[in-house]
Amino acid sequence: MKHKTVVQDGVVQTCCRQCDMHCGVNVHVKGGKIIKISGNSEHPEYQGRICPKATAAIDLVYHPDRLLQPLKKMPNGSFAEISYQDALDEISDKILGLKEKYGAGTLATWTGEAIGFSQQEEYSRRFIHAFGSPNFFSADSICYRARYIATSLVQGYNNLHSDFENSKLTMLWGTNPGISKPPIMKSISNAQKKGGKLIVIDPRYTYAAKKSDLFVKIRPGTDGALAWGLARFIIESGCYDTEFVEKYSFGFEKFKDYADKFTPEYVSRQTGVDSRKIPEIAKLMIQSMPRMVSYTGISLEHQINGVNNMRVIACLGGLCGAVDVEGGEVWPKSFKREKLDVYDDFPLKDQHPIGFENYPVYFDFSKQCHSLTGMDYMLGKGEYPLKGLIISGANPVLTNPNVKKVTNALANTELLVVRDLFLTKTAELADYVLPAASFLERSELHTYGHLQMVALSKKIFEIEGVKDEYSFWHDLAHRLGFGEAYFPWKNEEEVVDWILKPSGVTLETLKKYPQGYQYDSFEYKKYQKQPLHTKTGKFEFASQYMADRGCFEIPEYIPPSYLKKTDAEFPFILITGARKSVYQHSRFRNIKRLNSVIPIPEVEINRSDAERIDVIDKEQVSIISKTGSLVIQADIVEDENILPGFIQITHGWDNANVNILTDDSGNDPISGFPNMKIVPTRIERIKTMEKAN
Ligand SMILES: Nc1nc2c(c(=O)[nH]1)N[C@H]1C(S)=C(S)[C@@H](COP(=O)(O)OP(=O)(O)OC[C@H]3O[C@@H](n4cnc5c(=O)[nH]c(N)nc54)[C@H](O)[C@@H]3O)O[C@H]1N2
Ligand SMILES: Nc1nc2c(c(=O)[nH]1)N[C@H]1C(S)=C(S)[C@@H](COP(=O)(O)OP(=O)(O)OC[C@H]3O[C@@H](n4cnc5c(=O)[nH]c(N)nc54)[C@H](O)[C@@H]3O)O[C@H]1N2
Ligand code: SF4
Ligand SMILES: [Mo]
């Protein structure tokens, strides 16, 4: 491999981007090679700790299977090497041909979680809009945006941060940060050391649950009922923050009326939680006011009533006065930077962005297209054909619901370009595969909203022929004729310099503070001085935005369908995607030191259930849903670890891809998010099936 290290031997302080926590790391370079990655104790995010994925970045960047040369699909389906210049020439010719035949909207770009949410994804977004297409997709169609919509509808502030460290009570709803977001778990445990309490609400006894002061074992999809029950108790007790509610909120009376039916007995019937626990939790909330944090995870997003369930949870913050206060839900001041996004420069809405019609709220709050609807467009079932797609940092064949459909859709394009470090299942479908640079091969800004801090990561090395994100979009835009206007910067350092201009923070400052620079001071209760960014300018217990759209303004609770009727064909409810510490979605299965920790995909089954259906530990079973079936090893767990009747499979395995079982229809009507947490399935023993044959 032709590596060229661009830093001196020694220790380089930079940021890890193996996940979105951006912890500070020290990269140890010796003899021009990275020999170790350790934690940077001067960095406020995780204060010198790191997780196994950070250490393993060395194995990732020097991996023998890394793509080093662009590949082109030949007529017989095999890949042949091609030079970068030739690949880009051919790709741009094809793009211009597609544009002429079908219009600019026929091309889309898609960024995944590996490069998501900031500068790297903004290049892709800028590119596609400057090209004249509204069709930008990202992991947002299945991650984070539903939460953003929920909190925006209630508070008007979309990017709120929970001040775990200073809270007296943290409530975790459907999230397991000890595994998924270790710095958050550390902050929670710091708060516990100061007397703070932790409540974990989950159908599974997770790492966070073990650390909790109160574990609430809840039936999936019923969190809304619990939140309503808590709201009812707090309102009835008269202990809510009356000043906040009276002065700064809207729709409280309607909210209060709706809460009325959520008696402890009704909530208990829905959630499976002992009715005595409801006053117990509510009293803890009252005692902790306003230092209370109610934090939701991905599970509440992957459900068909997800936004509404998260809205009522967000309303609890208003009742407790935990809005923009220390120890509560804080609205950090944003970093005033130049935006790469050029969406508003063009009349792109007239071109009917994909998903704009069926999920208008999602579009309104993201200015992004809905990737699951994108599959229909690729299959020729849209308003116009989607024939070209450039994917970077994503592996939708493993991460998006209804794999068969995703595979058919991607295969049906006329031009599929995939940028990745490895030849993934998604890359295998591509016409061109371009080797991508890892996070240690680029320099970018990392914003830590909750700390009001920004840091600049350092490029450590480069590999001949492997391009970073900026270079790729720059080179392609120049070939297509809009490079001068939209990608004029020679390299990423020039881009960063431009982005920083309005902020008053310079490149020099960021180089001087590799552990991060605080860009503003904290200020709380900003709502006392300025209206909130909601329709009414107030904290909305009832949403004027939803009412204006002809929707019910209260965050309605809809019981999950499995509670209404048991399905004899699919009696087990499958939860998917519980995170494992050594993997990030579809990544790192090819890294030995991580894979040896969890080498085999498994389905978690409760012991009593397993005994009832005669399944033994480590035997192969077949899991069947209405969408597909897969064979996987059974992991029989003790009864207390998962509710009976529920099973769990983590996503990201290509030898047991759980998204074969998930579906892309019946999505949350507000966010468009798919149901990946409440999937009706049945379990069949392979031996039984063999006998039947
Ligand atoms: N069933 C089920 N499915 C799920 C979930 C679930 O809970 N259940 N969770 C969903 C969620 S929340 C998310 S965010 C999505 C994520 O899904 P994706 O966005 O598809 O993310 P990854 O699977 O991590 O794919 C990232 C790809 O980027 C590559 N890569 C790594 N670093 C770089 C880089 O620096 N540059 C480039 N160009 N490529 C790079 C990796 O090799 C990998 O192939 O998965 C979702 N899928
Ligand atoms: N190691 C690692 N870390 C990651 C990732 C990764 O793939 N690997 N992915 C990253 C990404 S992009 C994301 S979005 C985050 C997600 O991180 P989290 O939001 O913390 O998600 P999980 O770790 O899957 O924890 C979700 C929990 O919700 C529970 N649950 C399922 N359904 C319900 C329900 O209806 N109600 C309640 N109350 N609980 C329910 C599950 O049992 C599970 O324990 O993790 C990030 N961090
Ligand atoms: S949690 Fe782990 S993978 Fe994520 S940024 Fe921190 S050290 Fe890196
Ligand atoms: Mo995610």
Residue pLDDT, tens place only, 52-100: 999 999 999 999 999 999 999 999 999 999 999 999 999 999 999 999 9
Strand, coil or helix: 297: coil
The backbone torsions φ and ψ at residue 20, rounded to the nearest 5 degrees and listed phi first, read -80, 10
- How close is the Cα of 521 to the center of ligand 4, in Å? 29
For residue range 571-593, list pLDDT tens digits in order.
999 999 999 999 999 999 999 99
Nearest to 84 by CA among 99, 102, 98, 70: 70
- How close is the Cα of 589 to the center of ligand 2, in Å? 19
Q: What is the mean pLDDT of residues 353-371?
A: 96
CA distances from 614 to 60, 204, 374, 511 (A): 41, 22, 42, 61
Q: DSSP assignment of 495-558, as one string?
A: HHHHHHGGGT--HHHHHH-TT-EE-S-----GGGTS--SSSSSSEESS-HHHHHTTS-SS----
10 Å CB burial of residue 667 (0-12, 13-18, 19+) is buried
Structure letter (DSSP) for residue 110: E
**Per-residue pLDDT band at 1 (split at 50, 70, 90):** low
Q: Which atom of ligand 1 is nearest to the CA of 441?
A: 35
Q: What is the mean pLDDT of residues 365-376?
A: 97
CA gap 143, 401 in Å, rounded: 13
CA gap 314, 294 in Å, rounded: 7
Mutate to test the pocket of ligand 1, among 586, 589, 590, 673 (most ligand atoms within 8 A of CB): 586
For residue range 493-549, list pLDDT tens digits in order.
999 999 999 999 999 999 999 999 999 999 999 999 999 999 999 999 999 999 999
Q: Which of the residue ranges 2-6, 49-53, 599-603 would you say has the lowest mean pLDDT? A: 2-6
Question: From the CB of 583, is ligand 2 less than 6 Å away?
Answer: yes
Structure letter (DSSP) for residue 422: S
So what's the pLDDT on residue 689? Answer: 54
CA gap 109, 354 in Å, rounded: 12
Burial readout 275-292 (b: 16 or more C-beta within 10 A, e: otherwise): eebbeebbebbbebbbbb
Q: What is the mean pLDDT of residues 373-398?
A: 98
CA gap 509, 273 in Å, rounded: 52
Q: What is the mean pLDDT of residues 456-469?
A: 96
Strand, coil or helix: 197: strand
Q: What is the CA radius of gyration of the chain?
A: 25
Q: What is the mean pLDDT of residues 37-59?
A: 95
Beta-strand relationship, 24-30 and 10-15: antiparallel
Which amino acid belongs to residue 292? M
The residue with tokens 């270079």 is 471
Nearest to 262 by CA among 296, 292, 224: 224
Contact 586, 637 (CB under 8 A): no
Residue nearest to atom 35 of ligand 1 (CA): 438
So what's the pLDDT on residue 605? Answer: 98
Mutate to test the pocket of ligand 3, among 14, 15, 19 (most ligand atoms within 8 A of CB): 19
**Per-residue pLDDT band at 693 (split at 50, 70, 90):** very low
Strand, coil or helix: 5: strand
Bridge partners, 563 (sequence order): none
Nearest to 661 by CA among 585, 573, 598: 573
CA gap 273, 250 in Å, rounded: 31
Nearest to 199 by CA among 169, 175, 227: 169
For residue range 94-118, list pLDDT tens digits in order.
999 999 999 999 999 999 999 988 8
Q: What is the mean pLDDT of residues 288-312?
A: 98
pLDDT surpassing 80 at residue 687: no
**Per-residue pLDDT band at 690 (split at 50, 70, 90):** low
So what's the pLDDT on residue 22? Answer: 96
Question: From the CB of 560, is ligand 2 less than 6 Å away?
Answer: no
- How close is the Cα of 683 to the center of ligand 1, in Å? 28
Nearest to 514 by CA among 447, 458, 449, 460: 458
Which amino acid belongs to residue 131? F
So what's the pLDDT on residue 486? Answer: 98
Bridge partners, 648 (sequence order): 575, 604
So what's the pLDDT on residue 377? Answer: 98
So what's the pLDDT on residue 256? Answer: 98
- How close is the Cα of 183 to the center of ligand 3, in Å? 8
For residue range 216-250, list pLDDT tens digits in order.
999 999 999 999 999 999 999 999 999 999 999 99
Provide the residue count of the chain: 693
So what's the pLDDT on residue 58? Answer: 97
CA gap 246, 559 in Å, rounded: 31
CA gap 200, 206 in Å, rounded: 9
Strand, coil or helix: 138: strand
Contact 393, 113 (CB under 8 A): yes
At 420, list the tokens: 């990745």
10 Å CB burial of residue 86 (0-12, 13-18, 19+) is exposed
So what's the pLDDT on residue 691? Answer: 47
Largest CA distance in the chain: 72
For residue range 168-180, list pLDDT tens digits in order.
999 999 999 999 9
So what's the pLDDT on residue 688? Answer: 57
pLDDT surpassing 80 at residue 554: yes
**Per-residue pLDDT band at 149 (split at 50, 70, 90):** very high
10 Å CB burial of residue 544 (0-12, 13-18, 19+) is middle
Residues within 6 Å of ligand 1 by CB: 112-115, 139, 142-143, 298, 302, 392-396, 398-399, 419-422, 424, 436, 438-439, 576-577, 584-587, 651-652, 658-659, 662, 676
Tell how far CA 627 is from the center of its chain: 23
For residue range 671-686, list pLDDT tens digits in order.
999 999 999 999 999 9
- Whether the upstream peptide bond of residue 290 has omega within 30° of 0, thus cis, is yes
CA gap 158, 681 in Å, rounded: 35
The residue with tokens 């932790």 is 198
Mutate to test the pocket of ligand 1, among 113, 122, 579 (most ligand atoms within 8 A of CB): 113
For residue range 311-320, list pLDDT tens digits in order.
999 999 999 9
Q: Which ligand is nearest to the CA of 113?
A: 1
Q: Which ligand is nearest to the CA of 297?
A: 2
Q: What is the mean pLDDT of residues 426-453?
A: 97
Q: Residues 562, 564, 570, 572: is their CA dihedral positive or negative?
A: positive
Bridge partners, 436 (sequence order): 467
Q: Residues 634, 635, 638, 640: is their CA dihedral positive or negative?
A: negative
